[in-house]
Structures are given as C-alpha cells and as structure tokens.
C-alpha cells in the first residue's frame, strides 16, 4: 500500500470523478492519516517560525483569533462592572432578575443569531461572515457605550450577542481550514484559549478606570470593547478565504493557489505534492458530506428516540451541555462580586484585582491543558477526574465560606482559602470542560446526525446559561454561601452519572464506537466490507499506474520528509 494517498490523487484526476470516501468519525484512523501526511510534508530543517510563509500564515491567523478575544472581553466586562459603583448607579442598582436579564443579554442575542450564523458563512464565505458579525458588534458597542438606562443597555447587549455569534461560528472554521496541517490542533487550541486573553484585558481596563469618578469609569471599558471588532474589520481581508469554502463553490484553482502560497511558500517543487494531497482530501471530504447530506435530509430529531444507541447519544449530549454550564462555574463567571462579598471582600479594588488575576491564570492553564491533556489521556478519565476535582474543591470552598461568615469575616486566612479554592476549581474545570466536550460530541455521534447533535448541545448550553444569569443572582442575594451546597449536590450527581454513563471514545474506530452503542456498522448505511473494497479499488488504480519509475509518493521522497 505504498503511496496509496498520493496515487489516490492521481486516480482522482485521471478519472475526473470523485472517489467516494465513506463517512467516518474524526480520529478514526489518526495513525494512518499521520503516516500518509508525513510523506508529503516539506523538510525545511528548521523551526516553523524561521520559515517565512509559515510564520506569515500563523501571524495572519491571529487576526481571526480576535473573535475569541472579543467574546472573552464581553464575558469578563459584566463581572467587572458589578464591582464599579458608578455603573451600578447608572443602571439603578440592578439585582435579582433585572441583573440576570442584563447578564443574559448576550445569550439572548446568540439565540437570535443561531438560525443565521451558519447559512451566512456557507453562502458568503467565512471572511464575510466575520465582517458582518463585526459590523453588528460595533453597532451594539456604540449603543451600549451611550446607554443612559437599563433598557438601552440590555438592547445593546442583545445586539452584541447577535453579532458575536455570527463571527464565532465562522472564525474557528476559518482557522481550522487555513492552518498548516501539523499546526492545526495547536492553533485551534490557541483560539479557544484566547477567550481568557479578552477577559484579562477587560478585567484590568476596568481596574484602571475604577477611580475615574463618573460614568466614564464604565463607559471607557465599554468603548474599548469595540476595539477588537474594529481592528478585525480592517484586517480580516489580509486573511485568505477558506480553501474548503472556495472548493465548495467550484473555485478549485483559486484554492490550490492559496494552499501553494501559504503552505508551500509558492514553491511547486517543494510543496506541490503536499498541496495535491490537501486538495484531494478536501475534494473527497466534500463529496463525503454531500453523500451524508442525502442521508441527513431524510433524518429528523425523532431518530434520536428510535434506537437505544441514539437515545444514549441524546442523553450524553444533553448531559454534557448541563455539566458545561451548571457545575458551579456560572457563579464566578456571572457574579464574582457576589461570591467575594460573601467572604467579606467588598472593596471594588480588591475584587477587580482578583478578577484580573484569575483571568491571567485561566489563560495560562487553558493553553497548557489544551496542548497536553487531550493527546495523552483517555476521554472518560479526563471527564471523571475533572468533575471529581471540582466537587472536592467546591466542598472545601463551601466549608471555608460557612466558617468565615460564622466568625464574622474576621479571619482573613479563611477568605484567602476560599480564593485559593476558586483558582483550584478552575484548574479542574479547564481540564475537562474547556475544549474537550466539543471533541467528545463529534466522536459519539453518527455522521448523518452530527449537526443535529451539535445543535442540541449548543441549545442546551444556552438554556443553562439563562439559568445561570437569573437564578444565581436571586439565590446569592437570598442565601449567600448556602447556595454553594446546591452546586456540591449537583457536582456529586454529575460525577455518579458521568462514571456510570460516559463511554470511552479515544483510540476507537467507527466499528468499535458502533459496538459501544449496541449497533453495527451496517446500521449507518455502509459496511466494513464496502470500506475494504474501496481501499482495494484505490490500490488497483495505483498498481495500474505504477509500471513506470515508481509511485508519486516514492518520487516525492526526494524532496519531502
């Protein structure tokens, strides 16, 4: 099977028709893919940042990462505002459901943007979708900056959420589809971690303006929220369009030229084989998706109820959404000032410093975890360990808070203990619930139901987010630290359910995953025999073309690793 993938490219071009590639889950054959890919990668003999076209590509992708930075900025902004007296006065001291509505404004905007985000990106391209989202966010930021009352501020946040959702859907796709093959996981992980970078900036900007002594103490951070959309608006067209999107629109030569420029430095002799490999993979994947779409068009959400395997997939999808949003993280994400008030830390300066420091910590931890944990530990172990650690730290957090209040907040060491538990809690949260759930969702789903499964998961998170915005505020005002007991109980239930129901997905093929859910491959419209026949078909095509001086892969080895 020497050079099968390279010969697949020749077979594809020779026959002028797409070779069908059977639907498989991402990660089914990672070792094989890696083995094939390494034969096509140019050997530059130096670090990537010393290769001009790779350095340029990764710097360009930083422009796309501003989307995640803006999301994090907004996420931290409301936390900071609750510690600024001038903002509370301008909004008529919101509390309870009113404060919850303000916090949920962006969530409402995301829900409204849900039906539009994907169609805009598919029809007009990833870059145009990001631009449209930025324009909407800039409009929302202007309204928010000049808000004079609660209602105007809430409307502005809904508009910001709508625009942010449109950008957030297309930006990860653009990064994934543009990045160099061996850099993709690291670049994507960096994109996810940039949420905390935005949160850091928002936290420290708010700290810097806290003593302005007028409405400008919160208007300045609000105005600066528009900085990232404005920068991205002007720079986004330095970023090339997604080659996958170009090919989907029949602009194959344009896509090839783009890949040759950014993945091979424009050198056909060195990187031409890599570009041909990537083009073939994209073309075959699009054909695969067209085939899957024909199946998906005949499916419905009721299919999740028809078989035991699909019912378990539905349960796991909803449960993961629940765990991501309702594991106690909503208290710190939405109402950090109330948490700190409950342990006697009421100074706005101290609260803002803590918020800024927490975001720096989260940013560093998330980068390390995203790059190291997923590759070296099994999914089930990571999930269960993460939840168990969160429960442990939350119990200590609760006990220290109770003792602190009992002693009338006079023992400062108890408050410091609670603050330490918050940091340790976020270590546990980032281990299992920062980026892993999205990977897990794609691995447990069948190809034809995957988009519906993700829709259910995202919708579930938004519903849970509404709970975080409204209920947490009311409960913290009413019973303070005692509300932590609720989350201790929730985490305990989550741990038991996770241990009993989570299936292991790492290192499994599609055949093995189907068996885990009590199904066979034939249940999804194709058989293992079909897959083997297709490989044989490719081999036959390669052998018929190998009567000359060797396969294309063998010829390429003079130039490639």
Closest CA to 222 of 330, 112, 74: 74
Query: Which SS3 state, helix, strand or coil, does residue 151 take?
Result: helix
Interacting residues of 548 by C-beta distance below 8 A, sequence separation 6+: none
538 has a pLDDT exceeding 80: no
Looking at 179-307, list the stretches that DSSP marks H as alpha helix, in order from N- to C-terminal side: 184-208, 216-225, 227-235, 243-248, 252-264, 268-296
Confidence of residue 39 (pLDDT cuts 50, 70, 90): confident
Confidence of residue 154 (pLDDT cuts 50, 70, 90): very high
Closest CA to 474 of 98, 103, 153, 105: 98
Mean pLDDT across the stretch 81-109?
Answer: 88
Kindly report the pTM of this predicted structure.
0.73
Which has more pLDDT, 180 or 15? 180
Give the per-residue pLDDT at 57.
92
Alpha-carbon distances of 136 from 145, 226, 233, rounded to whole Å: 14, 10, 11
Give the per-residue pLDDT at 99.
87
Into which CATH architecture does domain 299-526 fall? Up-down Bundle (1.20)
Looking at 297-328, list the stretches that DSSP marks H as alpha helix, in order from N- to C-terminal side: 308-325
Mean pLDDT across the stretch 28-54?
Answer: 70
State the DSSP code for 65: H
Could you tell me the maximum CA-CA distance found in the chain, to the nearest angstrom? 87
Mean pLDDT across the stretch 439-452?
Answer: 70
| CATH pick for 63-239 out of 1.10.10.10, 1.20.1250.20, 3.30.1360.80, 3.40.50.800 | 1.20.1250.20
Predicted confidence (pLDDT) per residue in 243-264, tens digit: 988 998 889 999 999 999 999 8
Mean pLDDT across the stretch 489-518?
Answer: 81
Give the per-residue pLDDT at 366.
86
Give the per-residue pLDDT at 113.
87
Predicted confidence (pLDDT) per residue in 2-36, tens digit: 343 344 334 334 443 333 333 333 333 344 444 56
490 has a pLDDT exceeding 60: yes
Interacting residues of 138 by C-beta distance below 8 A, sequence separation 6+: 163, 226, 229, 230, 233
Interacting residues of 105 by C-beta distance below 8 A, sequence separation 6+: 153, 154, 155, 156, 157, 158, 160, 161
Residue 382 is encoded by which pair of tokens? 């990571």
189 has a pLDDT exceeding 80: no
Interacting residues of 149 by C-beta distance below 8 A, sequence separation 6+: 90, 91, 92
Other beta carbons within 10 angstroms of residue 297's beta carbon come to 9
Predicted confidence (pLDDT) per residue in 363-412, tens digit: 889 888 877 776 678 889 999 999 999 999 999 999 999 998 888 878 88
Confidence of residue 448 (pLDDT cuts 50, 70, 90): low
Range in 160-164, 266-270, 450-454 the model is least confident about: 450-454
Mean pLDDT across the stretch 486-513?
Answer: 84
C-alpha span between 524 and 236 (Å, rounded): 40
Which has more pLDDT, 519 or 368? 368
Closest CA to 333 of 193, 236, 468, 484: 468
Confidence of residue 417 (pLDDT cuts 50, 70, 90): very high
C-alpha span between 268 and 270 (Å, rounded): 6
Looking at 16-125, list the stretches that DSSP marks H as alpha helix, in order from N- to C-terminal side: 30-38, 52-81, 85-90, 96-103, 105-124
Predicted confidence (pLDDT) per residue in 342-362, tens digit: 888 888 888 889 988 998 999
Rounded percentage of the chain residues whose pLDDT exceeds 70: 80
C-alpha span between 406 and 325 (Å, rounded): 30
Mean pLDDT across the stretch 319-341?
Answer: 87
Other beta carbons within 10 angstroms of residue 246's beta carbon come to 22
Domain residue spans of the chain: 63-239, 299-526, 532-561
Please check whether the two domains, 63-239 and 299-526, share a CATH topology: yes
**What's the whole-number average pLDDT of the chain?**
80
Give the per-residue pLDDT at 235.
94
Give the per-residue pLDDT at 21.
34
């Amino acid at each position: 099977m020497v050079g099968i993938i390279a010969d697949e490219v020749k077979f594809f071009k020779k026959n002028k028709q797409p070779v069908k590639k059977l639907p498989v889950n991402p990660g089914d054959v990672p070792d094989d893919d890696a083995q094939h890919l390494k034969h096509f990668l140019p050997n530059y003999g130096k670090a990537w940042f010393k290769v001009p076209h790779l350095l340029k590509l990764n710097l360009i992708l930083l422009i796309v990462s501003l989307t995640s930075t803006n999301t994090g900025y907004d996420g931290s902004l409301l936390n900071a505002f609750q510690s600024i007296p001038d903002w509370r006065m301008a909004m008529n001291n919101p509390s309870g459901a009113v404060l919850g509505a303000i916090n949920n404004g962006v969530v409402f905007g995301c829900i409204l943007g849900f039906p539009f985000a994907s169609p805009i990106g598919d029809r007009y391209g990833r870059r145009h979708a990001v631009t449209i989202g930025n324009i909407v966010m800039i409009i929302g930021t202007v309204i928010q900056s000049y808000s004079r009352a609660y209602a105007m501020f809430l409307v502005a946040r809904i508009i910001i959420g709508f625009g942010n959702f449109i950008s957030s859907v297309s930006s990860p796709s653009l990064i994934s589809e543009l990045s160099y093959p061996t850099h993709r996981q690291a670049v994507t992980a960096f994109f996810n971690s940039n949420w905390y970078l935005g949160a850091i900036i928002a936290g420290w900007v708010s700290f810097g303006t806290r003593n302005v002594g007028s409405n400008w103490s919160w208007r300045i951070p609000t105005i600066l929220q528009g900085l990232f959309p404005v920068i991205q608006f002007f720079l986004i067209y330095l970023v090339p369009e997604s080659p996958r999107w170009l090919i989907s629109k029949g602009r194959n030569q344009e896509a090839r030229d783009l890949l040759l420029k950014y993945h091979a430095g424009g050198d056909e002799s060195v990187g031409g084989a890599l570009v041909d490999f990537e083009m073939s993979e994209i073309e075959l994947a699009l054909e695969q998706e067209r085939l899957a779409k024909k199946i998906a068009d005949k499916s419905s959400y009721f299919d999740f109820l028809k078989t035991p395997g699909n019912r378990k997939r539905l349960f796991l999808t909803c449960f993961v959404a629940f765990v991501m949003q309702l594991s106690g993280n909503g208290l710190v994400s939405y109402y950090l000032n109330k948490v700190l008030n409950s342990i006697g830390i009421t100074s706005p300066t101290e609260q803002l410093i803590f918020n800024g420091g927490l975001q720096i910590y989260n940013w560093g931890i998330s980068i390390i975890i995203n790059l190291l944990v997923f590759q070296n530990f099994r999914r089930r172990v990571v999930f269960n360990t993460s939840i168990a650690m969160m429960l442990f730290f939350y119990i200590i957090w609760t006990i220290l808070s109770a003792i602190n209040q009992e002693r009338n907040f006079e023992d400062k060491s108890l408050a410091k203990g609670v603050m330490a538990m918050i940091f340790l809690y976020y270590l546990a949260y980032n281990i299992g619930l920062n980026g892993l759930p999205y990977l897990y969702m794609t691995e447990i789903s069948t190809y034809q139901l995957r988009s519906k499964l993700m829709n259910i998961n995202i919708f579930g998170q938004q519903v849970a987010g509404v709970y975080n915005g409204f209920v947490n505020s009311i409960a913290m005002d009413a019973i303070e630290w005692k509300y932590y007991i609720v989350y201790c109980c929730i985490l305990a239930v989550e741990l038991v359910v996770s241990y009993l129901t989570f299936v292991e997905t790492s290192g499994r093929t599609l055949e093995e995953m189907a068996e885990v859910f009590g199904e066979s491959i034939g249940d999804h419209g194709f058989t293992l025999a079909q897959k083997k026949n297709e490989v044989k078909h490719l081999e036959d095509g390669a052998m018929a073309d190998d009567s000359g001086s060797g396969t294309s892969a063998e010829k390429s080895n003079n130039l490639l690793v």
